[in-house]
């Protein structure tokens, strides 16, 4: 029973991190029309900035956080300029996807340049775990939960309550109409990129102490894709639900197997595609949405 | 008249084939035989990879579907071939056939599920297959030998000759790739090929014209599975040892790059893309630690400036050149008649 | 007043407009009619700066030839595009809201409640569906939403591209009624239509465009009875004078 609770909590926390990455994918998909295959590398980048500013340079945590945020925003701007603007009038949409693969490789190699070996560890924000009898949860999981929840609320406030958020949504839904109205679509797209890189980088930083920092972290990217499909492709709530579902599936799978975790998670993806292709939250309508 | 054009087409084919085979033999004699064994291995593996890349050309270039599972299908075929040959003691050809058959079955089953879905869901479904495959190949020791892989696969014996070294394989693989290119060209010009391209361009329009989009795409998927299966079996026999770490998503990504580098609409381009991507690290050894970064940057630049790959670039230049030449000719005739 | 002189427009190397001269006087409804591909939408796109063009476009004395969509909107010329193009994932209210961007500014804080009320009083059906997502609206409602969104930008001249496209006849009647109501409030209208009959019935002045050039122009009432139009665009249904 305790084990079940423990796994549920871990599953939800990690699932929220997956959800953040999945939400980032959806936002980029809507704003730029591209499925970003560099998402895992961007996560790793966040973790590396954490390692660099906190670990290697031993900066004051507040300064480190600010520097990391600024660096991630800069990366977002560059990423947008490289992987989006040149493709605005492309005839071959897959080209953008492959460009993100290339960009991802560049990012991970740059990380490798800073770090000599492939795996380093990032200290958790608060070391140690909470002990309630035999119920053990490392403190880091609370931070994962807290920060991701905060970011999701922030996104909801932005897109649902703020004028500029709505303008950004409009630009993502129909660029031509937005241009006609005078919406600065290039600016909104770039903003979206920066927000996504921030989100994903933060997720990387949060998850790094739990999973060792590796320059790829691409397995998270694959989990995020699974989250998108399972939760219902194309919607932000779907990404959240899907992320949590994947986290729970992965967590519960440790009951009966540790080596075949991937098989369980991706087998679940195939199962969802077979039985309910629109995902948990998806509905069969909305063909011209996003 | 029809017999005449058919015959002339056939003669042209014979001529081109003769030239190509002569070229292959020349390259083999003067280049391959003098090359280091490890480098020959790279070229051979590139040719073997081409089978999977050709399958991707069929799915993506002609069919408009981003299929990401070629590596998993290839892996299954390779391991089945290895398993039946080493653990069950089957002779080589039945083992290879078994491998290919297993990939066909896999593609038929998975394809029938995934083809009903839209493009993105299909792409993710195939990705899921790759991750499942990686996990199974790495861990299912009884079948694949786990992290150690399968080794000791028999050598190929054809017409009394045993292919025991990498160098002996080159001519065979090169000719096989040439036949594959011919096959792809042929497919493009059948009604199946045209239906596939119609489905790529506009599914609804194709459907309204009587194309069974689902069946067409499923057939394309299975054919690409056959190609990948052949590639997998060839890989098993060529290398003699297969290890699970090869059959991961990273290799799949390199397949995509091979296809896009060579030209997503060109089978010949894809072949050169394969060779380039596989062989480039050898040539660029001096770049050392920055190699991968340059590689990634190259892909970015390639997609921005040359999304149609090398083949597309060459085609553009050829057309410009032709325009220049015919344009000049037209000008002079106009002057003469004036 | 909108004045266009010698407008040439280009899609790459193709010249789509070959010297258009057109005027929209204050407070009038002017229609530009012609067959598919004649250059009607291209004219509007040139005015809002979405397509490469040369020539002179001025509105109320201000030269807007080289301006992009944002500044053209600020000058008071609003383009409601062909095919409605409402933002499907936003609600009716939110669609109207983002229409204010050209004067409200990305980070602005001004209130637009008055503008919303005006649009709702003009289109009561939209008020009913205020929190409904735009993809679920009917064609006619989406058209009204698109026009309403254009109105939110506080236009002095409203350019409508084929507002009747794909709509049922009764709905077309209603749309044109609303267009006339908007005009009565003092907003000039430049109307692009393939439905020549409806356009002529509801306009003050008309231009006929074909293959990038103005064939002829005149008061709409006269052109309704003109044989040339009848033969070319109305299929011989011209009313006998």
User: Count of domains in chain A?
Assistant: 1
On whether the CB atoms of residues B213 and B198 are closer than 8 A, the answer is no
Matching residue, tokens 């749309």: C175
Model confidence pLDDT, tens digit, residues A119-149: 556 666 655 666 666 667 777 778 888 888 8
Q: Is residue A197 pLDDT above 90, yes or no?
A: yes
A238 φψ region: left (φ > 0), alpha (ψ -120 to 50), beta (else): alpha
Q: Is residue B14 pLDDT above 60, yes or no?
A: yes
Model confidence pLDDT, tens digit, residues B201-223: 888 888 888 888 889 999 999 99
Model confidence pLDDT, tens digit, residues B235-285: 988 888 888 888 888 889 889 888 888 888 888 889 988 988 888 777 666
Average pLDDT rounded to a whole number, residues B157-168? 74
What pLDDT score does B289 carry?
Answer: 66
Look at residue A226 and tell me if it is in a domain.
no
Q: Establish if B135 touches chain A: CB-CB under 8 angstroms.
A: yes
Chains C and B touch (3+ CB pairs under 8 A): no
Chains B and A touch (3+ CB pairs under 8 A): yes
Q: Do A263 and B136 touch (CB under 8 A)?
A: yes
What pLDDT score does A117 carry?
Answer: 54
A75-79, A157-161, B34-38, C143-147: the lowest-pLDDT one = B34-38
Task: Give the nearest partner residue to A229 out of B124, B131, B138, using CB atoms.
Answer: B124
Neighbours of chain C (3+ CB pairs under 8 A): A
Q: Please give the share of chain A, as a percent, with pLDDT higher than 90.
A: 10
Q: Do B303 and A102 touch (CB under 8 A)?
A: yes
Look at residue C203 and tell me if it is in a domain.
yes
What pLDDT score does B57 carry?
Answer: 92
Q: Is residue B145 pLDDT above 80, yes or no?
A: no
The residue segments making up the domain with residue A25 are 2-217
Which CATH number is associated with domain B15-307? Answer: 1.10.3470
Q: Do A95 and B116 touch (CB under 8 A)?
A: no
The span from the CA of C48 to the CA of C68, in Å, is 6
Q: Establish if B143 touches chain A: CB-CB under 8 angstroms.
A: no
Q: How far is A61 from chain B (nearest CA, A)?
A: 31
Look at residue C70 and tell me if it is in a domain.
yes
Matching residue, tokens 């020791």: B141
Confidence of residue A91 (pLDDT cuts 50, 70, 90): low
Average pLDDT rounded to a whole number, residues A225-234? 86
Contacts of A183 in chain C (CB under 8 A): 98, 101
Tokens representing A101? Answer: 């693969």
Q: How far is A242 from chain C (nearest CA, A)?
A: 20
Q: Establish if A176 touches chain B: CB-CB under 8 angstroms.
A: no
Q: Do A176 and C81 touch (CB under 8 A)?
A: yes
Scanning every residue of chain A, which has its alpha carbon at the shortest distance from the alpha carbon of C88? A289
Q: Is residue B24 pLDDT above 80, yes or no?
A: yes
Mean pLDDT rounded to a whole number for chain B: 84
What pLDDT score does C241 carry?
Answer: 45
Look at residue A250 and tell me if it is in a domain.
no
Q: Is residue B156 pLDDT above 90, yes or no?
A: no
Q: How far is A105 from chain B (nearest CA, A)?
A: 5
Q: Do C135 and A286 touch (CB under 8 A)?
A: yes
Model confidence pLDDT, tens digit, residues A33-86: 888 888 888 888 888 887 777 766 777 777 888 888 898 999 999 998 888 888
Provide the Cα torsion C48, C51, C56, C61; round to 10°: 10
Look at residue C143 and tell me if it is in a domain.
yes
Q: Do B300 and A82 touch (CB under 8 A)?
A: yes
User: Count of domains in chain C?
Assistant: 1
Model confidence pLDDT, tens digit, residues B218-248: 999 999 999 999 999 999 888 888 888 888 8
What pLDDT score does A215 carry?
Answer: 45
Residue C31 is part of a domain; what is its CATH number? 3.40.50.300
Confidence of residue B181 (pLDDT cuts 50, 70, 90): very high
Look at residue C239 and tell me if it is in a domain.
no
- Integer-rounded Cα Rg, in Å, for chain C is 18
Per-residue pLDDT tens digits of chain C, which is 241 residues long: 888 999 899 888 888 888 889 999 999 999 998 877 788 889 999 998 888 888 889 898 888 888 888 889 988 999 999 888 999 988 999 999 999 988 888 887 788 888 899 999 999 989 999 899 898 999 889 999 999 999 999 999 999 999 988 888 888 988 999 999 999 998 999 999 888 888 888 899 999 888 888 888 888 888 877 777 666 665 544 455 4
Task: Give the nearest partner residue to C135 out of A177, A184, A289, using CB atoms.
Answer: A289
On whether the CB atoms of residues A43 and A207 are closer than 8 A, the answer is yes
Q: How far is C15 from chain A (nearest CA, A)?
A: 20
What pLDDT score does B126 carry?
Answer: 92
Average pLDDT rounded to a whole number, residues B286-300? 75
On whether the CB atoms of residues B198 and B211 are closer than 8 A, the answer is yes
Q: How far is B72 from chain A (nearest CA, A)?
A: 13
What pLDDT score does A254 carry?
Answer: 82
Q: How far is B336 from chain A (nearest CA, A)?
A: 42
The residue segments making up the domain with residue C173 are 2-234
The pTM assigned to this predicted structure is 0.84
Q: Establish if A127 touches chain B: CB-CB under 8 angstroms.
A: no
What pLDDT score does B241 carry?
Answer: 85
Q: What is the DSSP letter of C219?
A: E
Q: Is residue A286 pLDDT above 50, yes or no?
A: no
Nearest alpha-carbon partner for A210 in A27, A9, A72, A53: A9
Give me the phi and psi of B161, to 5 degrees please.
Answer: -100, 135
Nearest alpha-carbon partner for A14 in A264, A227, A193: A227
Mean pLDDT rounded to a whole number for chain A: 81
Look at residue A264 and tell me if it is in a domain.
no
Q: Is residue A284 pLDDT above 60, yes or no?
A: no
Task: Give the nearest partner residue to A183 out of C81, C101, C135, using CB atoms.
Answer: C101
The span from the CA of B124 to the CA of A229, in Å, is 8
Confidence of residue A279 (pLDDT cuts 50, 70, 90): confident
Q: List CB contacts of C108: < 8 A, sequence separation 6 or more.
A: A163
A281-285, B59-63, C60-64: the lowest-pLDDT one = A281-285
Q: Is residue A8 pLDDT above 60, yes or no?
A: yes
Task: Give the nearest partner residue to A273 out of B113, B256, B303, using CB atoms.
Answer: B113
């Amino acid at each position: 029973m305790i084990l079940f609770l423990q796994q549920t909590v871990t599953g939800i926390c990690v699932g929220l991190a997956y959800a953040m990455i999945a939400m980032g994918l959806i936002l980029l998909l809507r704003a730029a029309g591209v499925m970003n295959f560099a998402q895992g590398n961007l996560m790793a980048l966040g973790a590396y900035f954490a390692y660099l500013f906190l670990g290697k340079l031993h900066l004051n945590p507040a300064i480190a956080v600010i520097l990391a945020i600024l660096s991630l925003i800069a990366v977002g701007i560059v990423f947008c300029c490289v992987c989006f603007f040149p493709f605005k009038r492309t005839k071959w949409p897959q080209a953008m996807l492959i460009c993100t693969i290339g960009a991802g490789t560049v990012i991970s190699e740059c990380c490798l340049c800073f770090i000599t070996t492939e795996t380093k560890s990032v200290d958790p924000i608060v070391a140690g775990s909470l002990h309630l009898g035999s119920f053990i949860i490392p403190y880091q999981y609370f931070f994962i939960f807290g920060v991701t929840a905060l970011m999701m609320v922030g996104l909801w406030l932005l897109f649902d309550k703020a004028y500029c958020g709505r303008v950004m949504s409009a630009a993502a839904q129909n660029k031509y109409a937005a241009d006609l109205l005078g919406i600065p679509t290039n600016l909104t797209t770039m903003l979206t990129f920066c927000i996504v890189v921030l989100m994903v980088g933060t997720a990387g930083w949060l998850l790094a102490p739990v999973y060792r920092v590796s320059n790829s972290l691409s397995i998270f990217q694959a989990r995020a894709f699974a989250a998108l499909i399972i939760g219902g492709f194309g919607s932000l709530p779907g990404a959240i639900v899907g992320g949590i579902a994947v986290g729970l599936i992965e967590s519960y799978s440790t009951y009966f197997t540790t080596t075949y975790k991937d098989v369980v998670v991706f087998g679940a993806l195939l199962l969802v595609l077979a039985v309910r292709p629109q995902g948990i939250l998806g509905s069969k309508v909305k063909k011209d949405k996003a | 008249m029809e017999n005449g054009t058919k015959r002339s087409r056939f003669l042209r084919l014979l001529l081109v084939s003769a030239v190509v085979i002569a070229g292959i033999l020349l390259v083999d004699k003067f280049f391959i035989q003098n090359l280091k064994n490890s480098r020959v291995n790279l070229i051979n593996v590139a040719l073997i990879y081409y089978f999977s890349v050709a399958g991707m050309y069929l799915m993506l270039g002609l069919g408009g579907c981003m299929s990401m599972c070629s590596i998993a299908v290839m892996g299954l075929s390779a391991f089945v071939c290895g398993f039946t040959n080493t653990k069950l003691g089957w002779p080589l050809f039945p083992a290879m056939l078994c491998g290919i058959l297993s990939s066909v079955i896999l593609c038929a089953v998975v394809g029938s599920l995934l083809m009903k879905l839209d493009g993105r869901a299909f792409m993710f479904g195939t990705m899921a297959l790759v991750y499942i495959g990686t996990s199974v190949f790495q861990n299912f020791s009884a079948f694949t030998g786990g992290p150690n892989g399968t080794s000791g696969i028999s050598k190929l014996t054809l017409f009394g000759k045993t292919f025991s070294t990498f160098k002996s394989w080159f001519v065979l693989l090169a000719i096989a790739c040439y036949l594959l290119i011919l096959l792809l060209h042929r497919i493009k010009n059948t009604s199946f090929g045209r239906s596939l391209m119609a489905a790529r361009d506009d599914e609804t329009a194709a459907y309204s014209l009587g194309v069974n989009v689902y069946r067409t795409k499923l057939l394309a998927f299975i054919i690409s599975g056959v190609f990948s299966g052949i590639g997998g079996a060839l890989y098993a026999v060529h290398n003699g040892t297969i290890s699970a770490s090869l059959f991961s998503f990273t290799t799949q990504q390199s397949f995509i790059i091979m296809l896009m580098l060579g030209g997503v609409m060109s089978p010949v381009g894809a072949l050169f893309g394969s060779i380039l991507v596989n062989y480039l690290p050898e040539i660029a050894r001096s770049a050392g630690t920055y190699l991968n970064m340059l590689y990634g940057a190259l892909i970015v630049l390639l997609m921005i400036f040359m999304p149609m790959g090398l083949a597309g670039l060459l085609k553009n230049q050829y057309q410009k050149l032709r325009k220049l030449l015919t344009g000049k000719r037209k000008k002079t005739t106009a002057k003469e008649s004036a | 007043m909108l004045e266009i002189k010698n407008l040439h427009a280009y899609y790459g190397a193709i010249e789509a407009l070959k010297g258009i001269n057109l005027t929209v006087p204050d407070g009038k409804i002017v229609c530009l009619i012609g067959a598919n591909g004649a250059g009607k939408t291209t004219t509007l796109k040139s005015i809002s700066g979405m397509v490469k063009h040369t020539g002179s476009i001025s509105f109320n004395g201000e030269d807007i030839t080289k301006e992009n969509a944002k500044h053209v909107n600020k000058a008071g010329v609003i383009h409601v595009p062909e095919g409605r193009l409402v933002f499907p994932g936003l609600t009716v209210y939110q669609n109207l809201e983002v229409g204010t961007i050209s004067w409200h500014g990305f980070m602005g804080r001004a209130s637009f409640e008055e503008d919303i009320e005006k649009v709702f009083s003009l289109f009561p059906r939209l008020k009913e569906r205020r929190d409904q997502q735009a993809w679920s609206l009917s064609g006619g409602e989406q058209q009204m939403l698109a026009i309403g969104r254009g109105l939110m930008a506080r236009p002095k001249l409203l350019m409508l591209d084929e507002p009747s496209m794909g709509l049922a006849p009764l709905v077309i009647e209603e749309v044109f009624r609303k267009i006339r109501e908007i005009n009565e409030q003092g907003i000039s209208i430049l109307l692009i239509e393939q439905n020549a009959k409806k356009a002529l019935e509801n306009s003050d002045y008309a231009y006929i465009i074909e293959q990038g050039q103005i064939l002829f122009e005149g008061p709409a009432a006269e052109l309704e009875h003109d044989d040339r139009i009848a033969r070319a665009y109305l299929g011989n249904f011209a009313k006998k004078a």
